[in-house]
Structure 1
Amino acid sequence: MHDLSTTRQAVVAFVILKESYLKEHGPDGLAQQLRAWVGEQIGPIARPRDVYIVGELPKTRSGKIMRRLLRDVAEGREVGDTTTLADTAVMSVISAQVR
């Protein structure tokens, strides 16, 4: 178990929603609702510091999610090598949203 005060890491969620859900409910306040829901279901320690609703996640050509790139963005670091991504533009969109 890591102590947040020494590692400076926190839970951050990148969420993809179905278009039908967004049309019905809209994105307003959804991130706060998701944070609260996680806190209720798992516990306050698991509540994400930030929730980002994105259209797509960075995936390799074989379909694996590039968690390293998401971690870089969430921690404010320069995004590393993206040459193995199926769509390199997705990281630009996510980076802009996080900033």
Structure 2
Amino acid sequence: MKKVFIVLFGGLLFSNINAQNNEWEDPTIYERNKFQGHVDFIAYENDQQARVDDFSESPYFLSLNGTWKFDLVNTPAERPTDFYEVDLDDSKWSDIKVPSNWELEGFG
């Protein structure tokens, strides 16, 4: 009986270790697609603009605020893998306001 228990326990332990095939469930992966640490700053055309320190007045500043397309899927396997393509058909996607929280916009 003791041998059967050890074999069953070992098999259960081994199956749990091998069942972890998704990278988002793997605790050893924690830096995929992560930017290096950096200091936020922005360039200005001249000293006067820099002294005023209004990012929106710099020609090198681009606000991402506005309306964005949003597609919430139930599983990672359902995500669009070609989302970065210029000719992606996002006509069935919803609109979301940025900045915002997608849960406050009615998703999730």
Q: Same fold (TM over 0.5)?
A: no
Higher helix residue share: 1
- TM-score of the two chains, using structure 1 as the length reference: 0.23
- TM-score of the two chains, using structure 2 as the length reference: 0.22
From the CA coordinates, give the structure whose radius of gyration is larger: 2
Q: Which protein has greater RCO, CA pairs closer than 8 Å, 6+ apart?
A: 1
